[in-house]
Amino acid sequence: MTLQIYEHDVIIVGAGGAGLSAAISAAEQGVDVGVVCKSLLGKAHTVMAEGGIAASLGNVVQDDDWRSHFLDTMKGGWGLNDPKMAEIHAMESPERVLDLERWGAVFDRTTDGRISQRNFGGHRYTRLAHVGDRTGLELIRTLQDKAVSLGIKVYMEYTITEILKDSTGKKMAGAFGYWRVTGLPVLFRAKKIILATGGSGMAYRVNSSSWEYTGDGPAMALRVGAELVDMAFVQFHPTGMVWPLSVKGTLVTEGVRGEGGVLKNSDGERFMFNYIPDAYVGSIADTEEEANRWAAGDASARPPPELLTRDVVARAILNEVVEGRGSEHGGAYLDIASQRPTEFILRKLPAMYHQFKELAGIDITKEPMEVAPTCHYMMGGIRVDPETQETCISGLYASGEAAGGLHGANRLGGNSLSDLLVFGNRAGIHAGETAQKMKSFPKIPEKHIESAIDHLSFPFNNTSSGEHPFQLRDELQTIMEEYVGIKRDEEGLNKGIKELQKLKSRTSNLVATGSPSYNAGWQTCFDLINLIDVSLAIAYSALERKESRGAHTRIDFPVPSDSLGKIKFIVSLSSDKFNISNVSIPTPRKELLSMIKKDQTKQKSGGKK
Amino acid sequence: MSTEINTSTTSESSPSVYPVNYTFRIFRGNDNTGEFINYEVAVEEGMVILDAILSIQENQDTELAVRWNCKSGRCGSCGMEINGMPKLACMTRLSDFDPKIPITVTPMKTFPVLKDLVSDVSWNYEVNKTIQPFTPNENSDFVYQQEDIERSREFRKCIECFLCQDVCHVIREHDKKDSFGGPRFFVRSAALHFHPEDTADRSEWLKEGQGGIGHCNITRCCTDVCPEHISITDNAIIPQKEYVVDNYYSIWGWIKKQFNK
Amino acid sequence: MQSTKDLLNNYDFGSTYRVDRWWSQPIGVFIGLSLFVIYGTARLLYPIFNPSAPGIEYGSLLSPFFSPLLFSVSSESHHALFGLFPTFWPELLRSPAILILWAPLGLRLTCYYYRKAYYRAFLRDPPACAVSEGRRYKYAGETRLFLFQNLHRYFVYLGIIFICVLTFDAIRALFWHAPAGSPFWEGDIELHVGTLILGLNALLLSGYTFGCHSLRYLVGGNSRCFSCVSNPENKGKDPTISKRYTIWKIVSSLNVNHSTWAWFSLFMVAFTDFYVWMVSIGVWPDIILLKL
Ligand SMILES: Cc1cc2nc3c(=O)[nH]c(=O)nc-3n(C[C@H](O)[C@H](O)[C@H](O)COP(=O)(O)OP(=O)(O)OC[C@H]3O[C@@H](n4cnc5c(N)ncnc54)[C@H](O)[C@@H]3O)c2cc1C
Ligand code: SF4
Ligand code: SF4
Ligand code: FES
Ligand code: FES
């Protein structure tokens, strides 16, 4: 096999929102940038994002500022967020959204001609800048065009399988992978590498992800010695499609609820009123009448319980189904038809209309949708420095969904797109600046390259009696669904870990046939190896976190624990063994701390805002 | 009488009891040689073409090459030709087809075939680079109304599936890749041109450059296949043809140009 | 294994994997347009060979094929603006339509909708979407031979003048039996079937012409920012106060169904002409519906 070698000052793995933001800001530092991605340019997950970008622009509600965005993020994340990251995120996201506008994005407008905003769960103010329900498309297209105009080189349909280090074993030196079209090996030599590979939704059967989401970034980083953080927290989005079977899991944007949609069970009851958690009592409407007033635009009314955070809504739907009040195909009814006029729905949610019309034959302006939780987002990810996004491996960065820390135990809707922009930008700037100062490329020991090349052909060398990659993936999804799903307990997690370890040992017997060119079976072998590593990290962290908090629900420990609320669990790998350690969460700056305290007491007193 | 309906395949006899066996006649091969192979798939209610192809990939032939990402018509990866018509595999429901007749699935043939259902669309990315990017006024305040951006918004819905490029006979039949941009990129230049803050003049690109809009004879196949229902010809191509007329063939435009020189 | 070229890139005429009746539309268009051309040519030539009964006018009715009637072939004309054809005019060209019909035909020939229709149905370029055309010549689209299509907007200006003329004709068709030498409005007001037909014809032609793509561009589509088009001060303010935006909206609403307007108005022009022809030679009577 002939090895292709490319050289760029900064290599970015991933062409989603995070990757492209990083590429643009790195290129603006005057370095040579290359972007590598598994699909074509513009097809990354970011393109599917619907609802909007959270940024306290204050265009709709003037009172909004970065402080309240910070408070909402911390509260939504059950205090487990890295306070520094949450602060940077809240402060910088408005400016990043304005950047997009300056680069040509056309957001929905307010009547006075500025960027309009919409409501989303957990955000106390109307905060999400949006483009109908195609915000991700607008975001990625704008970034893509900007990147193209800066002359950034994009390597499409390349999969990175390994990060290579220099001979000291401490510094990042390059990225190795293959070109999916031919299956031939490639080596990217770089001074800095930014991992922006997104999440790992494929670990679960019902997910809102594409084949790309196999946790490559976290798994590769783990294998070269970086740490993963908050891995127990997997967000199940409350509203995924349930029927027809072939689209089970496909996302129904939270924007539907943000624009006034309500959840009902088979008795026609708006059941979310029964599930308001203590932390939110007082800030959420407690009668249907008040919720309706809110929807009609009454500023003195509190938002409806449908707009509680995603973890809460997902568990509520699950509970309704378990208690026998589920919809026909095992979900809840999401109804906007009875709440808003047809014309409004068509204007605000055109893609949703399209999606249901064409895939399920349902007209959402007339009928309710059927929805149930779907695996959606990884709060956890690669542990990075809050300001520079560098990992503990020098020269290796991570940002976007692949990185962890910002969202804590639960992510608020809309906080991901802003995360991509803010931290993608920061990673790019820092990597660009430091690469600028480096005179030469780090050296990669020959034998590392050779063994990487060797590794590529292992599925072809196995005999046909080995493991079938798609079957193994199916088994993995069964294990994760059963033992590491929305509700977890010690016994199940232990069992799950055992099963996952068994699965991991079977990966060396994976088999592929034919030529490596565009061979889905062969490619899945490598994706699967990553997926299993990430799944293990999730399971280990979940076992360790003996409490229920945010997206992590332990049946055997149903309430949050004060002491665990002060620490984060870190996963690392040494000689193929998973190690779990913990670090305490840094206390926020004094000013922020007193803000949080004040907010909490205001809540307790039940004051309406 | 006038608007073409894509009845590429629709049959009256869609099944009522599931699962149903369908036969897929799929192109396997590369740019040089290939063959059609028949696969049988037990189809459940609500399945789309892409589901069937992925099921073949998982259970019958792991080497079958296909592109996909979102499975909900948002990313534009899964463009291919189904019974000869360019379509998104993930948005084409099998209930529209008669199970008794095999369904022919081929790659977008206008571009070189890489493998099976995957074609090499890199030419499109090269065309994109030739378009002058968004160029706002330096002291622009970015204040504008919803109505001001509705036109641009329609074009920005494009998911870059390249189905329009595939069907456009200027590329498909006449292979004008060296002097023609294709409908996707007329949509893109229209998105830029009709942005209220844009100031660039792309008429030269349109007429003399890679755009080559004169090659388009507005026969509207691009509009017929666009899964995002963008009125490509009416709203993007024709106004830009008129823009070229303004700049090159109108007496008034000519006089204005002489003054500006 | 076969060559991919044979399997996929077969460029023979009509080659496709489509299984629907893709040929039905081009054939329908072919027949429809051909019939119109044949009828139109016949009617154009008719007065040359039948100067005594040219079938151009009947009472206050004037066939739209011959309107405005500059010169007449028969001395009994009520509508001719300048009397009979001058004597130097060659006999074989003495059809009043020759003088004016080029303008509406030019409008239709260069119309963005008809271009599509005849490129597909007559030049099979392409015959239907994703159907091979069989390569016959070096394709140049509208860059060489068809460059004249860019003149379409000038035909629209003329087309609008014709709309005025035909509307005038329809109004005039309300007044009957004016004494010779006095203006038409001194006649009796009568509503004939012919009056309605002329009126409907003018209406359909207006719908067609005012939905023109070029016009849509010229009236407002050429502006990038509706709210600031006439006054930069208005930037970011409600664009519905802009007249050009309102006009653009109206033209756009007609434009959406431009092809439908095109066919209905085409049929109606031919039918109106046929009707006038028939009543003028007495095949059927022009029934009077209302007399004031
Ligand atoms: C349906 C849906 C709706 C959503 N709606 C919203 C919303 O309204 N608001 C919000 O804030 N968030 C939303 N999200 C979440 C948000 O879109 C994602 O979290 C975010 O886009 C992730 O961006 P990213 O840049 O980190 O990764 P991605 O956009 O997923 O990009 C990952 C990139 O990495 C590449 N890659 C991965 N592995 C490799 C490898 N091994 N080698 C090379 N390249 C690789 C991929 O090809 C891809 O280009 C939504 C998500 C989904 C699925
Ligand atoms: S209208 Fe023009 S661009 Fe569209 S398919 Fe036809 S020739 Fe191509
Ligand atoms: S314009 Fe339509 S058909 Fe063409 S690439 Fe975009 S979405 Fe696809
Ligand atoms: S898979 Fe994304 S459009 Fe079909
Ligand atoms: S486009 Fe048909 S008349 Fe102008």
Domains along chain B?
A: 20-119 (3.10.20.30), 122-260 (1.10.1060.10)
Task: Return the half-sphere exposure (C-beta side, CA atoms, 13 A cut-off) of residue A538.
Answer: 36
| Single pTM value for the model | 0.95
- A295 SS3 class: helix
Residue B4's pLDDT is what? Answer: 39
- Give the Cα separation of A427 and A196 in Å (integer): 10
- For tokens 């708006």, name the residue: A270
- For tokens 């040579």, name the residue: A32
Amino acid at B247: N
Sequential DSSP letters for A46-58:
GGG--S-EE----
**Per this entry, what is the length of chain C?**
292
Ligand index nearest the alpha carbon of residue B185? 3
- By most ligand atoms within 8 Å of CB, the mutation choice from A53, A197, A214, A389 for ligand 1 is A197
Kindly give the residue spans of alpha helices, DSSP state H, lying in A34-133: 66-76, 83-102
Ligand 3, atom 7, residue with closest C-alpha? B158
- Please indicate if any CB of chain A lies within 8 Å of the CB of B179: no
- CB pair distance less than 8 Å for B221 and C126: yes
Contact assessment for residue C8 and residue B27, using Cβ atoms and an 8 Å cutoff: yes
Measured between alpha carbons, how far is residue B22 from residues A451, B8, B80, B245, C283 in Å?
A: 45, 17, 18, 51, 61
- By most ligand atoms within 8 Å of CB, the mutation choice from B172, B180, B221, B223 for ligand 2 is B221
Answer yes or no: A237 catalytic.
yes
Set A45, A69, A237, A545: catalytic member = A237
Answer yes or no: A109 catalytic.
no
* Residue range B28-49: mean pLDDT, rounded: 95
Structurally, at CATH architecture level, domain A447-574 sits in: Up-down Bundle (1.20)
Residue B12's pLDDT is what? Answer: 52
Q: Which two tokens stand for residue A303?
A: 């938002």
A122 C-alpha to ligand 1 centroid (Å) = 21
Nearest to A174 by CA among A156, A186, A188: A188
CATH for A4-233+379-446 (3.40.50.1100, 3.40.630.10, 3.50.50.60, 3.40.50.150): 3.50.50.60
Q: What is the pLDDT of residues B108-148, one digit of tens each?
A: 999 999 999 999 999 999 999 999 999 998 888 899 889 89
Is the pLDDT at B1 greater than 80? The verdict is no
C-beta C108 within 6 A of ligand 5 = no
Kindly give the residue spans of alpha helices, DSSP state H, lying in A157-210: none
B184 C-alpha to ligand 3 centroid (Å) = 6
Cβ-in-10-Å burial (0-12, 13-18, 19+) of C163 comes to: middle
- Please indicate if any CB of chain A lies within 8 Å of the CB of C291: no
Q: Which two tokens stand for residue A216?
A: 């490559």
Q: Which residues neighbour B124 within 8 Å (Cβ) at sequence distance 6 or greater?
A: B160, B162, B165, B182, B184, B185
Helix H or strand E encompassing A574: strand A567-574
Residue B57's pLDDT is what? Answer: 95
Q: What is the pLDDT of residues B7-24, one digit of tens each?
A: 444 445 567 788 999 999
- CB pair distance less than 8 Å for B245 and C153: yes
List ligand 2's pocket residues with C-beta within 6 A: B 167-170, 183, 216-222, 233, 237
Amino acid at A372: A
Residues of A in contact with C237 (CB under 8 A): 113
- CB pair distance less than 8 Å for B152 and A469: no
Among B33, B170, B195, the residue with its CB nearest the CB of C3 is B33
Residues of B in contact with C11 (CB under 8 A): 173
For CATH 1.20.58.100, the residue range(s) in chain A are 447-574
Residues of C in contact with A107 (CB under 8 A): none
Q: What is the ipTM of this complex?
A: 0.93
Q: Which atom of ligand 5 is nearest to the CA of C215?
A: 4
Q: Which residues neighbour A87 within 8 Å (Cβ) at sequence distance 6 or greater?
A: A66, A70, A588, A589, A592
Residue A30's pLDDT is what? Answer: 96
The DSSP call for residue C105 is H
C-beta C216 within 6 A of ligand 5 = no
- Please indicate if any CB of chain B lies within 8 Å of the CB of A475: no
- Please indicate if any CB of chain A lies within 8 Å of the CB of C237: yes
- CB pair distance less than 8 Å for B71 and A247: yes
Q: What is the pLDDT of residues B81-93, one digit of tens each?
A: 999 999 999 999 9
CATH code for the structural domain at A238-373: 3.90.700.10
- For chain B, give the percent of residues with pLDDT over 70: 94
Find, in chain A, the residue whose alpha carbon is nearest to that of B199. A104
For CATH 3.50.50.60, the residue range(s) in chain A are 4-233+379-446
- For chain C, give the percent of residues with pLDDT over 90: 79
The DSSP call for residue A155 is E
- A396 SS3 class: strand
Q: How far is A265 from chain B (nearest CA, A)?
A: 24
Nearest to A172 by CA among A11, A383, A386: A11
- For tokens 């319980």, name the residue: A305
Q: How far is C212 from chain B (nearest CA, A)?
A: 11
Find, in chain A, the residue whose alpha carbon is nearest to that of B30. A517
Q: How far is A202 from chain B (nearest CA, A)?
A: 12
- Give the Cα separation of A398 and A418 in Å (integer): 15
Q: What is the pLDDT of residues A97-106, one digit of tens each?
A: 999 999 999 9
